[in-house]
Amino acid sequence: MKKNIVLFGPQGSGKGTQAQLSSKAFRIPHISTGDIFRQNIKEKTELGQKIEKLINSGKLVPDDITNEIVKERLQKDDCSMGFILDGFPRTLNQAQFLSSFININLALEIFISDEEAIKRIGDRRTCSKCGAVYHLTHLAPREEGVCDKCYGDLIIRDDDKEKSVKKRLETYHKQTEDLINFYYKEGIYKKVDGMQTIADVNNAVGEIIKSLT
């Protein structure tokens, strides 16, 4: 069976971290709307210039832009056996749009408290070249400030300032209930406790993905 998975959870819950691990383990692509947007901002594309201010202030990118980007990406050949969508959908409109053209088998929420989210994001470092995610204590790079994988510089994301993080969390909580209800009714909603170690969350996520038949 195809593994068409959507992953959601508050900021800093570990969606990116877990999606990277499961993508490798199950050989399906990790598609992060946040990564796609940040790449466009870095390359100063037309889209990047349009969305930079929104993202840095913690606001969502409009649904019509986000929906089209995801639809185009999911039509690529590497998604033929499935995918892990990280950070999409985030609104009911996005979830309904996604279901209008593809069948989703699992909607998995990784949950943590807001206090933990703010703490984790404060100590997150991201590779400016390949996007790999580190944490100063829970997932430290071998050499301070340098990516283990590509030797790129590790930076603090522009939207990781405390004010933006609080705004992102507020938006998340406002939108999530609708998303949970939507996927709960479809019978594909599952939840994992994200307050455990990275390895324990990974085991829990892996077990759920393996159970997709």
Nearer to ligand AP5, 91 or 188 (CB): 91
Check: CB of residue 81 under 8 Å from CB of residue 112.
no
b/e burial code for range 198-210 (CB count within 10 A of at least 16 → b): eeebbebbeebbe
Task: Using the minimum distance from each CB to ligand AP5, give the nearer residue, 82 or 125.
Answer: 125
* Alpha carbon distance, N-terminus to C-terminus of the chain: 6
Smallest distance, ligand AP5 to C-beta of residue 80, A = 23
Three-state secondary-structure class, residue 145:
coil
Nearer to ligand AP5, 1 or 57 (CB): 57
Tell me the one-letter amino acid at 61.
V
DSSP summary character for residue 213: -
Is 124 among the catalytic positions? Answer: yes
Distance of closest approach, residue 169 Cβ to ligand AP5, in angstroms: 8
Active site residue 27: no
**Cβ 64 to ligand AP5 shortest distance, Å:** 10
| Catalytic position from the list 2, 15, 166, 167 | 15
Active-site residue flag, 168 = yes
CB of 1 to ligand AP5, least distance (A): 25
> Toward ligand AP5, which CB reaches closer, 55 or 104?
55
Q: Is residue 125 flagged as an active site residue?
A: no
Q: Which of these is catalytic: 38, 120, 125, 157?
A: 157
Answer yes or no: 166 catalytic: no
Q: Which residues contact 151 (CB under 8 A, 6 or more apart)?
A: 129
> What's the min distance (Å) between Cβ of 211 and ligand AP5?
21
* Euclidean distance between CA atoms 51 and 46, whole angstroms: 9
Q: Which is nearer to ligand AP5, 60 or 212 (CB)?
A: 60
Q: Which stretches of the chain bind ligand AP5, using CB under 6 A?
A: 9, 11-17, 32-34, 37, 54-55, 58-61, 66, 87-90, 94, 120-121, 124, 133-135, 138-139, 159, 168, 194, 197-198, 201
> Angle formed by the axes of helices 92-101 and 162-186, to 10°?
50
Which residue has tokens 């599952």? 190
**Contact criterion met (CB below 8 Å) for 185 and 95:** no
Q: Which residue of the chain is nearest ligand AP5 when measured via CB?
A: 34
Token digits of residue 132: 């790999």
The catalytic residues are 15, 90, 124, 157, 168
